[in-house]
Structure 1
């Protein structure tokens, strides 16, 4: 057994739960807030549609400030806060008896997206604060919790004195509601559970690849399974080869850390064989050099996050029981490292995917679709899914088409795609439907195999990648989420975090919650 590197020794064998908010409560009045709450964040809305930058205190903010002996109109006049969603103005307090400062945060027009952006700004500004009270007004408390939670997150660091966890200090958030305003505490808790899934996916994504390999991901999957009451099955490299998972074997063949396939199963209480089963498949390339078609140096730096599809699927499975999802859910993590070595697979190789379809390799840097195809074909042949959804940082073409704020979605079922579009809209993780263009299918033909796995010279790389995957789906209703754009971020922006964003976890959970 090789000696573990210094940085590897700094990390526990499994990730902690990594929650950035420990609990959420509601209070009816600012004076009821905990004595240890140093910050009150209040929403500032647009004065009118024509002047979005000019802010006025909303009803909730005015009531909270009034309790502190402050006149909302005077505070706004003195400090001129902007109503632009996510803008912040800090007002120090003396003698209020409860809070040390008030943060005036712009909530724009008060839409869900505006509230999330505002909450994220507060979360980032107050990362070192243990107890926070927020008063943004009624109706969007779930979005507020999502914003504060996701904005509070910071990436871990591995230092000489030990790893610095991304959660920072434990946090307690109190949502201020007026006497006559009802806040759904259950809905707030469900929002927090979905955000915790995103945090798990982020933590997995930013872990360095000298620590994170397929075997390490298996360890994380087993830990999530123990915590969440899931069953787990793992295929090692010998079992993958024996059972015909040619895509995983080829892609992982160049690495010193062999490929793995993980199956996680969630069943709700009282489930039977007749209970609907949804299968989620996640691309899990723990590092992607591009293989023999090697990436340029700058293009390789972010490739520790090329397993975000599997991170999202694992995080979603871990949250199903807490959210009481009513359908059976199976997660398949297709794990491999795409490395350069004497045993790497080559352009022009012909491999056999699970189920027997042969594929001519056109470019070893298009490896994600090969591992996904194995897992999809296995699911169709063995699991009898009612719906199948795959998640992957699959193509640069999707990122070029939709940039960093929106993911691509393809699918064979209008019902499934529309359901996921709605879930994305409700959670702020938006998708744009892309076409499965019939005319492009011919471009995947091969003279020496059943399929060519790329379509050189055609363009539309996100489309042809989706068409390749569709060839393994059969008649199962299917959707493909290409999160290559918003799955990674270069900056903290809104609810997205620099590095791995965990994009798609909350949308998938919201969609699963609506399935029967």
Structure 2
């Protein structure tokens, strides 16, 4: 992972990044963009050069805009003018991502930080750098050797005193590492990513953090304990289902949060088979499970004083003679039954088991589930915004605030009371996937039936669309985004601060 260090007086700077910002209310003829005063003593000739450059290159100063200037036979030999916009954490995150992309051919970049920079800005900058530098490689794929050109391996943050920023940098690192782990899990092809493989990766990652425990239920135990939804969805595959339970139990915890993530390691749609185009990226259908286990590992790395249990119900939804059928009745953990109207609405079946188990056996204070659940999420909110549901205004607002601070997007949608009747089945307690439309809303209403006494302390996030990026954008890289890890760590951090 890219090295980021706090320094006071860097030596031998080859590439220097200077923050610039737009001037609010500037009149014609006045500077529209100006350099930000930094704690690093910038030579007078560079200040003069920057003042002359800014009007010529029409730099807007907006967050994430970078102009790179070559300075032959001078020191530093490359100069990057980095827009920081409003200067808030989100703007610095965008700046960090842009600096990485503009400086990939450098071996080292020094960023001159403002003299009065806030720790949140350092956190945002570092997250942007670390997340934008992510590249997925197959487990057995060696690191690229390149063509002999430098590869950015180090960024130095020049500050007047490192001490106020060390904690922010550590939080950024733990957050980025957890997000990158979720991206790795999600990007891995399903030829490798069986439920067993996923469980093994989680156990291996958790072993690096004291205080984490991991338990894995295999098919025989799932059957003995009545996890009918997980077993039904996994019944068509030769690679059996699993339920991973990873726990972080600090001694000083005042709150217990259970996180549940959909873990379909590949989704053909089952007997209700998907068309080819819709199936190509179904290795990402366990993005929710990746997010909740990675966030729990991140919380342990940060030693957050919140008890966390993450549940990852894992299954491969395949087509075979043993696959479950539309019209089957499934008995879930706890006894509720579902009539399966569509085998391609499988994620809610595994989530239902895990949520019912959480309520019955784990006694949490809060229940949050994340799932790449419906295509209706993208229809309603587009590719970059998740749908959030909760019966608690207070809880919904707190989690939405965490998404904004983390740089992820979500929008609250209603749990419409007049749609509940659509869940009624003549054969079972519930239809798993009613056909009256409003697919994301109906999926949320279905899951709510398994929240029991936690109904008013539950949040459901349908994050199918933003779990995948079609190309590099800001701190996102093409492929899995790790959506939800940053949001969960923000929210869990806020809980720990609230005591």
- Under a length normalisation based on structure 1, what TM-score does the superposition of the two structures give? 0.88
Q: 1:413 to 1:125 in 2, by over 3 A?
A: same
Alignment of 1:460-499 (within 5 A): 460-476=438-454, 477-499=457-479
For residues 328 and 298 of structure 1, what CA distance do their matches in structure 2 show?
41
Contact 1:155–1:165 under 8 Å retained in 2: no
The superposition leaves residues 65-105 of structure 1 with CA deviations (integer Å, 9 ceiling, x where unpaired) of 436744221232344333233222211123444x3311222
Which of 215, 220, 223 is the equivalent residue of 1:238? 220
Which of 86, 102, 114 is the equivalent residue of 2:79? 102
For residues 77 and 185 of structure 2, what CA distance do their matches in structure 1 show?
36
Alignment of 1:83-232 (within 5 A): 83-97=61-75, 99-135=76-112, 137=114, 138-139=117-118, 140-156=121-137, 162-164=141-143, 171-178=153-160, 183-229=164-210, 230-232=212-214
For residues 283 and 318 of structure 2, what CA distance do their matches in structure 1 show?
12
What does residue 7 of structure 1 align with?
Answer: none
What does residue 500 of structure 1 align with?
Answer: 480
What does residue 8 of structure 1 align with?
Answer: none
- Displacement, 1:146? 1.3
Contact 2:39–2:159 under 8 Å retained in 1: no
Q: Which moved more, 1:60-69 or 1:369-378?
A: 60-69
Alignment of 1:56-455 (within 5 A): 56-60=33-37, 65-66=42-43, 69-71=46-48, 72-97=50-75, 99-135=76-112, 137=114, 138-139=117-118, 140-156=121-137, 162-164=141-143, 171-178=153-160, 183-229=164-210, 230-270=212-252, 275-455=254-434
The superposition leaves residues 375-433 of structure 1 with CA deviations (integer Å, 9 ceiling, x where unpaired) of 00011110001101011111111111111222111112223222211111111112211
For residues 491 and 144 of structure 2, what CA distance do their matches in structure 1 show?
30
- Under a length normalisation based on structure 2, what TM-score does the superposition of the two structures give? 0.90
SS of the residue corresponding to residue 43 of structure 2 reads helix
Contact 1:278–1:388 under 8 Å retained in 2: yes
Q: 1:454 to 1:513 in 2, by over 3 A?
A: same
Give the aligned length. 482
For residues 448 and 483 of structure 1, what CA distance do their matches in structure 2 show?
31
For residues 172 and 358 of structure 1, what CA distance do their matches in structure 2 show?
55
For residues 296 and 392 of structure 1, what CA distance do their matches in structure 2 show?
21
Q: Which moved more, 1:106-115 or 1:325-334?
A: 106-115
- Displacement, 1:178? 4.7
CA RMSD of aligned residues (A): 2.5
- Displacement, 1:268? 1.3
Contact 1:284–1:309 under 8 Å retained in 2: yes
